[in-house]
Structure 1
């Protein structure tokens, strides 16, 4: 009899301990945010896309990240954002190499038209990791596709707008980018095609010694060599304030129309204050969302191969606060 009572007590204690442990585990699981079977979470083997930027923390990259997160959430895939805070080819290459070593499922990166970048894309491809370029391209690499603005068309659209604003006449100073020569070349090609129709418009540049220096130095150099310049075009983003400061310091009697390939909050503020005449919107958020969607299509083998390029819309931004859509999204 005593033996049966002892067994009953032990069994009861065991059941109590089991329920207590289960209850404690449930609370612990909840505190850690571990999902139950009814709420599946991404496993450690889930697809992971790495987006790498040359300008981490910039308006452009922040907008790209917004769009990329939207697409990643919709597909329930993991996404990491890496990059450098100032354009640096060596650091960018290092980041791509780390992404390859970490066995990312796919890499989305701002392209650089450089042999080292091409070599790193080739390495990723050999490892079975697809690469998509975004915002700036590396067309000679093995990247699967490019997502972003057609920079040649940007030059066409901005050129037409400027020619209209200047009534087909004037000397226009061009401030070049220190870090994106490939993008500059395409924009200048588009500008040149349009201005070729207007013999009264002449493009001028800073001297060879200063053409790759800060925008403010380039602006001063242009004003030194072409004191009768009528307007300025800025190819790099976020340079409007530097051009405005340089122009104002040289001539308080003349306002120079300034046109910028950018629509960051700083540029929009300058436009609204009448210091910059127009900017250009490249719809970065759409770039981010589209690039992740396309990467997912590649990873799922839904679309092989991808189209060579997917161009996002381009819009002229003026002081009205409205965007005049100038170039609709299409693939090529």
Structure 2
């Protein structure tokens, strides 16, 4: 709290002494933004980790900075929730106008997000914190995307069988919803994003046997070890499902070393090069892709607009506060087209 008070004190003192940095031309009513005019807002994009997915998002952020006249910064916490917390606190202290956050643990970060929202415009992206005071969420419906992933599983395995799910952490809203969508879809359940099957329980229903959900807390070595462990414990495993961008490449590496590429079906999330090449080579049946480039671009567009005094309605944010950027299913028949689009967004073509 001292940091927040310090920000206000600095802004107040600057006003008293007529510092040029505290221009009254800014239309932003948020505290803590006195050092930046609305003509050139400062926007920070905070991810939930370090991954190729976020490199794509960064390209969208950088493009949007030029497109919408904002000074942008991209922060990727490499050491988990403590690192992300420090980054957010530092941004508030600096008087950043707008902050886009992908919360690592929304249930335990609500207070931090609410505190940040007192001093800056705050939105969430990729993973939501719906109980917080964030102004909107930019991303996809992770539950429905999970169901799309479940469709790929059913498509690849018409006879069912043993399935293992791999993900970084289930504290994240997107991970929980994604996983539940997968389970509900393959079991033929009705849509209910509030449903939650315990991750440590095996689920046997009809032709399907979900052997477990393996988490790694963004530890790549553990992620690969989880894939090896699943194969070791279940010699008749027929499918591996990776819900975070780095999971499928680790699964493919483990399968290759075990001589089981093509023998165990791989269903993926996101667009890591290894995953897309796996689709081309026939080792990955398909993947669900988001649009991280547009997540980054839209986050800057919205935050810059809010700082300049525009309303959410003027920025074309629906009344429910959810700007939906739909997911897509990528298979062998459309992977080349998608990969070319991705490279274009990254400036590689």
- Residue by residue, what CA displacement relative to the aligned partner does 1:25-55 show, whole Å, maximum 9, x if unpaired? xxxxxxxxxxxxxxxxxx9633111112233
**In the alignment, is residue 152 of structure 1 matched against residue 160 of structure 2?**
no
* Separation of aligned partners in 2, 1:287 and 1:311: 10
- Could you give the per-residue CA deviations for residues 40-75 of structure 1, whole angstroms, max 9, x where no partner exists? xxx96331111122334x322221122222222222
**Residues 93-172 of structure 1 aligned to structure 2 (within 5 Å):** 93-114=85-106, 116-127=108-119, 129-172=120-163
* Alpha-carbon contact 2:100-2:299 (below 8 Å) kept: yes
- For residues 19-34 of structure 1, what are the structure 2 equivalents within 5 Å? none
Name 1:14's counterpart in structure 2. Answer: none
What is the distance in 2 between the residues matched to 1:301 and 1:90? 32
Give the equivalent residue in structure 2 for 1:17. Answer: none
Q: Find the aligned partners of 1:207 and 1:282 in 2 and give their Cα distance.
A: 22
Residue 72 of structure 2: SS of its match in structure 1?
strand
TM-score, length-normalised on structure 2? 0.71
CA contact (8 A) 1:67 1:289 kept: yes
Separation (CA, whole Å) in 1 of partners of 2:271 and 2:76: 22
Deviation at 1:165, TM superposition (A): 1.8
Shift of 1:222: 2.0
**Contact 1:113–1:137 (CA under 8 A) maintained in structure 2:** no
In 2, the alpha carbon distance for the partners of 1:199 and 1:248 equals 30
Change (3 A) 1:71 1:260: same
Q: For 2:159 and 2:76, locate their aligned partners in 1 and report how far apart those are by CA, in whole Å.
A: 42
Q: CA deviation at 1:304?
A: 4.1
Q: Which has the larger radius of gyration?
A: 1
**Residue 237 of structure 2: SS of its match in structure 1?**
coil
Distance in 1 (CA, whole Å) between partners of 2:250 and 2:215 is 20
Task: Give the length in aligned residue pairs.
Answer: 279
Match status 1:312 vs 2:312: no
Kindly report the root-mean-square deviation, in angstroms, between the aligned alpha carbons of the 2 structures.
2.9
Q: What does residue 62 of structure 1 align with?
A: 55
Query: Where do residues 1-332 of structure 1 align in structure 2 (5 Å cutoff)?
Result: 45=37, 46-56=40-50, 58-84=51-77, 86-114=78-106, 116-127=108-119, 129-178=120-169, 181-197=172-188, 199-205=206-212, 214-252=222-260, 255-304=263-312, 306-307=317-318, 308-320=321-333, 321-322=335-336
Structure 1 unaligned blocks of 5 or more: 1-42, 325-332
More relative contact order, 1 or 2 (CA 8 Å, 6+ apart): 2
Cα gap change, 1:323 to 1:181, in 2 (>3 Å) = farther
